[in-house]
A and B are shown apart, each in its own frame.
Chain A
C-alpha cells in the first residue's frame, strides 16, 4: 500500500486535491454557507493592491487624461461651434422652406375655397424710396393681370394693381396714402372708406360719429369700390375715436401682420357675405328660440322676416293688399285699393264667430280684458270683432295684453269684442295694460305706418313699445282697427304694453286699420331713420294725455 502510494503519489495528491475541493463545493452548495476565511484572505490580499492601483491611476493617468481631455476640449469646442453654426443655418433654411410651404398650401386652400378666380403671385420687390408703399409681384399682363385688380391674401386685402407689365405688376398697398377702398364693419355693419396713411395703420374715414364701431371690430370689404369683392377681411379697428364730424378709426391691415411673400390677384371677384360674428362664449348653453318667435318669424306677413323694418312690413302689407284686390300700384286704370283692409286676413269671408282677430290665430291676438285678473289662465278664442258683422258693434276699445301671474308666456291674446257698456264707460280712454306679476312682456301693438298712398285713408295709431327689463325688443304689432263709432267716441286709444321684469315678449294684438271715417282722426306716422314708426301722441297731443285707464275688473263689471 505504501509502495502504491509512493508510486502513484502525484495521482493520489491530485485526487485528494480534487475531491477536497469537490467536497468544499458540495458543502457550500448544500449548506448555502460560504467559506469566509478563504474569501476574506483573498479579498484582503487583492483589494488593497487594487485600491493602490486605483489611487495611482486616478492621480496619474487620470490627471493626464483630464489634461489631454482639456487640451482637446478647445479644438472640440471650436469644431462644435462651427457645427452648431452650420446646423443653425440649416435649421433656419428648413424653417423658411417649411413656412413657405405652409403659406403656399394656405394660399392654395384659400384659392380653392374662394368663389373668386384668383392668381397666386409672389412679391419680388418693393418700390424705391424709404416710404414706398408699392410692391412688385411676379405676375403681369402675360398672366391676365390688369390694372385695378385686387390683391389679397387669406388674411386680408393687400392692395390693388396699379400697373401691369408683361412680366410683373405694380401693386399699391393699402397703406399707401392714395389708396382707398370701401369697407364695412362686421358687427355693426358700419360702412366707411379705408384710406392709407403711409403708416402701418390705415384709417376708415367717413363714418359718422353717431354710427357705432367697437374697438376690435373687424372690417371687411364692402364691394362698393368695384375693386375688392365684398367679404374679404381688412383688419381690426385698433383705435376708435370720435372726431369733429367723422369718427377716427384706425385699423391694422390684417394681411400685413404675418409678412407678405405670396399674394393672390383677384382676376374675377365674386362678392361674398360678411361672415357672422363668432359667438362670444361657445361653451355657454343657449336655449332654443321660443316658439312664439319662430311662429312670428314664420308667419307669412308677406314674406317679411322678423328682422325687417316696419317700412318693409308695411310695403309687404300693401303689396299683399294689392294682390288681394288685384290692384296694380302705379296703374291708373285699375280701381283704387281699399286700404282699410290692410292687415286683415286675405279671406275675410270667414264667419266672424270662427275667425280669430289677428293675422294669425296663435300669435297676434290680444288677450281679452276680462281675463286680466285671471292669473295663469288663458283666454279661450273669441270671435273676431273685426269682422264684417262685428265692426259696427266694436266701440274701438283697444285690446289689452293680459296679465299672468304664473310666470308663463301669456297665450296669444284674442281680441275681445268690447261691449257697448265698456265703450260708453270709457270713451277715448287709453287703456293701460295691467302689470304682470311674472314679468312677462306683452308685445307692443304694431304701429301702422302710412305711406303716401295710404296717409289719407288709414292713418294709424302708434302704440308705445313695451319697456322690457331684459332689453328684448317686443314684437311690433299692428294697431287695432278702430270702428267708426269708437272713433267718434274716442278717436284713438293708445294701448300700453306691459312692463315686465323678465323681458319675455308675449304676442300683442295687431291693431287693425281704421275705417275711412275715422281716418282723419288718426295720427300720421313719424319717420325715424330707416324705420317708419307712428306715434299718435306725437301727432296729436290730445292722444298723449291718457284718460283714466280702465282697470280690468272694472271692465268685467
Chain B
C-alpha cells in the first residue's frame, strides 16, 4: 500500500490534470500577499488578521499535491515573512513548512477543488498555523505570547471565507503543464 492509496475522495477530476502556476506567478503572488500584509494593514488595520501568505501556501500545497515543493514554498514564504518582522528567521518558516507539507499530504486524500473542502482545510490549517506559531514563540523564543482560541477560530473563519474566492482566482491563473 502506497502513501496515497487510502484516499477519502477518489477519482478527483484534477487527479489526471496537470495544471500549474507559472513561475512568475509563483513569485509575484507570495510577494503581493506579503505586501498586502505589510502595506495595506497600514490603512486598514482590521485586514492585518488576514493571513494571505498562509492562504497562498495552502493553495500552492493543495494545487501541487507534492509535499516537498509545498514545504519548500511554505518555508520560503515563511522566512520572507520572518525577515519583515523583528523575530528570528524561521518561526513563520517552520510553521508554513509544516502547513505546506501537511496541506500537500491531505490534498491527495481530498477533493481540494471542492469549495467546502478548501474552506474547511483552510480553517483548519489557519488554526494549526497560529497554534504552531504560538508554540514556537513561547517554546523557542520564550516570549509571553497569548493565544486566544476563540479569536483564532474567528479569524480562521474569516481567512477560510476569503480563501474560497481567492483560490478560484488563483486557479484561473493556472495553465496546463
Contacts and interface: CB of A to CB of B under 8 A. Distances in A.
> Chain A's interface: helix, strand, loop or mixed, by majority?
helix
4 smallest CB-CB distances across A and B, nearest first, come from A42-B83, A21-B90, A28-B88, A10-B67
B140 A26 contact: yes
Contact of B140 (A29, A42, A49): A29
Interface residues of A, number: 26
Nearest to B140: A25
Given A21-B93, A21-B94, A39-B83, A46 B75 contact: no
Contacts of A25: 88-91, 94, 136, 140-141
Contacts of B68: 9-10, 13-14
Contacts of B136: 25
Contacts of B82: 38
Contacts of A68: none
Interface string A16-27: 011001101110
Contacts of A54: 39
A225 interface: no
Interface string A25-49: 1101100001100110111011001
B86 to A, nearest CB: 10
A89 interface: no
A46 B88 contact: no
19 contacts: A13-B67, A13-B71, A14-B68, A14-B97, A17-B71, A18-B97, A25-B136, A25-B140, A25-B141, A26-B140, A28-B88, A29-B88, A35-B89, A38-B82, A45-B80, A46-B38, A49-B35, A50-B35, A50-B38
Interface string B70-101: 01100100011011100011110110011001
Contact of B31 (A17, A39, A46): A46
B89 A10 contact: no
Interface string B5-42: 00000000000000000000000000100110011000
A43 to B, nearest CB: 6
Contacts of B67: 10, 13-14
B71 A42 contact: no
Interface of A: 9-10, 13-14, 17-18, 21-22, 24-26, 28-29, 34-35, 38-39, 41-43, 45-46, 49-50, 53-54
Contacts of B140: 22, 25-26, 29
A38 B83 contact: yes
Given A25-B88, A28-B89, A29-B140, A46 B97 contact: no
Contacts of B84: 42-43, 46
Contact of A42 (B72, B79, B91, B141): B79
Nearest to A21: B90
Contacts of B71: 13-14, 17
Contacts of B79: 21, 38, 42
A22 B35 contact: no
Contact of A22 (B34, B38, B83, B94): B94
Interface in B41-86: 67-68, 71-72, 75, 79-80, 82-84
Interface in B127-154: 136, 140-141
A26 B136 CA distance: 11
A45 B34 CA distance: 11
B89 A24 contact: yes
A404 to B, nearest CB: 92
A44 to B, nearest CB: 10
Given A14-B98, A50-B35, 8 more contacts: A10-B105, A13-B71, A21-B90, A21-B93, A22-B94, A34-B89, A39-B83, A42-B79
Contacts of B94: 18, 21-22, 25
